[in-house]
Amino acid sequence: MSSLPLSWPSAATATTTKPAFPSSHLPSRPNYSFKVSCQATNRHDNQNHKNSPQLSNTETNSHVKLDRRNLLLGIGGLYGATTNLVSADHPALATPITSPDISKCSTGTNLNTKQPLDVNCCPPMSTEIIDYQMPPVTKMRFRPAAHLAGKEYYAKYEKAIALMKALPADDPRNFMQQANVHCAYCNLTYEQAGDPKLKLQIHNCWHFYPWHRWYLYFYERILGKLIDDPTFGLPYWNWDNPDGMMLPEPFVKTDSSLYNVRRNQTHLPPALADLAYTQRKPTKPDKIVANNKSIMYNEMVRNAKKLEDFYGAKYILGTATDPGPGSVERGSHMAIHSWVGEATPSGEDMGNFYSVGRDPIFYSHHANVDRLWTIWRGLQGPKPKDFTDPDWLNADFLFYDENAQLVRVKVSDTLENEKMGFVYQDVDLPWLKNRPKAGVTKSKVATTSGAPSPNTVFPVKLDKVVKVLVDRPKKSRSKKDKEKEEEMLVIQGIEVDTGKFVKFDVFVNDEDDKPDEFDKAEYAGSYSQVPHKNSTKVTSMIRLGLTDLLEDLDVEDDDQILVTVVPKAGGEDITIGGIKIIYSS
C-alpha cells in the first residue's frame, strides 16, 4: 500500500446529477412532469410559488434527459459544464459537492459485505426544490446549556418532541423522517454527482460543521413551529464542562419524549461522559475530568491552528469517502456517540451513524459540537479565518424546512450563527486554561528507545502498540518560523472498515507508557470512528500539531521524536500507511 499524498485529496471524476422525482419506492414509474423552482424564499407561508420559473421534463422508466448542472449554470451556479474531466491533473476543474438526487437514494446492499441492508433511510419525495434564503432575524433563538435549563423549558421541549413524533409517518418533519435525514447523508445511500461508484458522505471532511449546522437549524425551526414559539432553541449538552458532563437528567426520565431505551445503561447519571472512551474498563471520575479537559485543549487549540485541521480535509466531487476528519470530529464528537450508544458492537442508537438521529440526545450533542465551532472561530480574534475556496462555500445540501418544503442550502450561509438567528448560553471554558504539562521535560527517550524508522515499519496492521523514531526536518525554529509554519505529525494511509468502531491514540516522547492518561503534554491526539450500517473500506489521514507540544516537552533541538501509536479499539481492523513530519503554512 502506498502512502497518501500530503495534500488533501482532489476530485477524480464528475458526472451528471438529476432532479428529485416523486417516488423512489415504485418498481417502475410512469411518465410525469416535475418542477424545480429557482426562486429564493424564506418559506414563511405555504404558497405554491405559481409564479416561480419552472422547467419540465418527462421521464420514461429511469432515463432522464435534463442535466442538472446545466440548470445550475442557468441560475448562476458554479457547478461546471464539463463531464468526466475533473482530476488531480486538472484541479481548476474541481467542483463543490452538490445536493443529491434523492430519487436515487439507495436501500440496496452493504457496500462491503454485499448483503441486503435492513434499513431504509430514504426521504419522502418532492416535486419542487426551493433555493433557500434565510428570513430576516427579528427574534433570536436561545440555545441553553442542558444542565442549566429549567422545568418550564423542558416541558416545552418535551411537548415539541412529542408533537414531532405524532406527525404522520410520511411527513418529512416527523421525528423518524428527521432521523433519516442524517442516515441518508451519512450511511452511504446517496450517489455523489450521479456516480454510483462514489457515495456521498458529509463526515470526515470539511463539510462536517456546515452540514450539521443546517440540520440542527431546520430541526429547531420545525420544533419551534409545532409549539408556536419562534424563539425556541435546542439545549446543548455541555459535556466539555465538568458541570455538564453527565447525561442531562430530563433525557433519562422513562416517561419523557426525550427518553431513549437504546443507551448504555451503565452511563446514566451520575456517570461522567468520557471523551477518551474506548469500550474498555471504566475510568475513575476524577481521571475522566482531567483527561477531558486535556483532550478539549488539544482539539480546540493545539491541533486546531490550521483551518483544515479543525474543519477536516477538502471534499469535492470525485473525492473518495472520508478524506480526513477534523480535530473535534475524530475525538470528543466520536467518543460521545460511542459512550451513549448501546454496549454492543453495533452501538445503536447513538453509537451507529444510521440510527443516531433516533435518540433526542443526538441533537443536544451536536448543538454542543456546533457551539464549539462558534467558540473556535471566536478564539481566532475579531476577524476569524475561514476557507475562501468556492468548492467549500458553494457546496449545497437538501433539507425539509418547517413547512415541509424541500430546500437547497449552501455552506456559505452557515458561517455566522447570529445571522442564522441563534445564540448559545455563555458558560465557563475550563479546558481553555488547561494547557497540559509535560510528564518529563528534556526526555532522552527518543535516543535511548531503539525504536525503528517508519520506513521499516509501515504499512502495518495496528493489532499491537507501534513505536517509531521520526526524523524532524527542521529544529531549533525561531518564533517567527513557528508563526509562519506549524510543525505537524502526519499519520497517513489510515485504512479502516466503516462498519467497525475503531480508535487509536498517539503519544510523543512518552516515558510513562500509561496509555489511559491524557492530561499530559505527551498526548498528541487520537483517531476514532463510529460504525455505519452500510460499511465500506476507506483510506483517511490525520495531522497533529507538534509546535506547542515540543515546546512543552522542551525538545525543540532534538533531531528525532519517539511516536507511540496505541490501538484502543478494533486495532486488528486498522492499517496505517506511514508517519512523517511536515510544516504547514
Distance CA(572)–CA(502), nearest Å, equals 9
Specify whether 147 is catalytic.
no
Exactly one of 147, 207, 337, 532 is catalytic; name it.
337
From residue 186, how far is each of 70, 101, 332, 368, 568 by CA, in Å? Answer: 27, 15, 18, 19, 24
From residue 316, how far is each of 78, 91, 200, 313, 529 by CA, in Å? Answer: 13, 10, 10, 10, 21
Annotated binding-site positions for Cu cation: 182, 203, 212, 333, 337, 366
Exactly one of 147, 207, 267, 333 is catalytic; name it.
333
Name the region of 484 (left: φ>0; alpha: ψ -120 to 50; beta: rest). Answer: alpha
What's 361's DSSP letter? Answer: H
Half-sphere exposure of 107 (CA within 13 A, CB side): 12
CA angle 155, 159, 164 (to 5 degrees): 150
From residue 441, how far is each of 445, 447, 551 by CA, in Å? Answer: 11, 14, 9
All three cell numbers of 99, joined, read: 445536493
Give the torsion through C-alpha atoms of 20, 21, 22, 24, to 10 deg.
-100
Exactly one of 207, 365, 366, 532 is catalytic; name it.
366
All three cell numbers of 258, joined, read: 426525550
Sequence length of the chain is 585
The shares of helix, strand and coil residues in the chain, as percent rounded to the nearest 5, are 30, 20, 55
Distance CA(161)–CA(210), nearest Å, equals 24
Half-sphere exposure of 570 (CA within 13 A, CB side): 23
Three-state secondary-structure class, residue 138: coil
- The answer to whether 317 and 10 are in contact (CB under 8 A) is no
From residue 108, how far is each of 114, 120, 278, 474 by CA, in Å? Answer: 9, 9, 31, 51
Exactly one of 34, 147, 203, 458 is catalytic; name it.
203
What's 206's DSSP letter? Answer: T
Exactly one of 147, 207, 212, 267 is catalytic; name it.
212
Specify whether 366 is catalytic.
yes
Specify whether 25 is catalytic.
no
All three cell numbers of 143, joined, read: 440555545
Specify whether 203 is catalytic.
yes
Specify whether 333 is catalytic.
yes
In terms of DSSP bridges, do strands 396-400 and 406-410 run parallel, antiparallel, or are they unpaired? Answer: antiparallel
Exactly one of 21, 34, 147, 182 is catalytic; name it.
182
In terms of DSSP bridges, do strands 502-508 and 406-410 run parallel, antiparallel, or are they unpaired? Answer: unpaired
Distance CA(204)–CA(544), nearest Å, equals 15
Rounded CA Rg of the chain: 24
Three-state secondary-structure class, residue 375: helix
Specify whether 362 is catalytic.
no
All three cell numbers of 305, joined, read: 491552528
Half-sphere exposure of 230 (CA within 13 A, CB side): 9
Half-sphere exposure of 157 (CA within 13 A, CB side): 26
From residue 36, how far is each of 16, 52, 53, 116, 129 by CA, in Å? Answer: 17, 9, 8, 33, 5
From residue 180, how far is each of 83, 190, 370 by CA, in Å? Answer: 31, 12, 20
Distance CA(548)–CA(360), nearest Å, equals 38
Annotated binding-site positions: 182, 203, 212, 333, 337, 366
Active site residues: 182, 203, 212, 333, 337, 353, 366
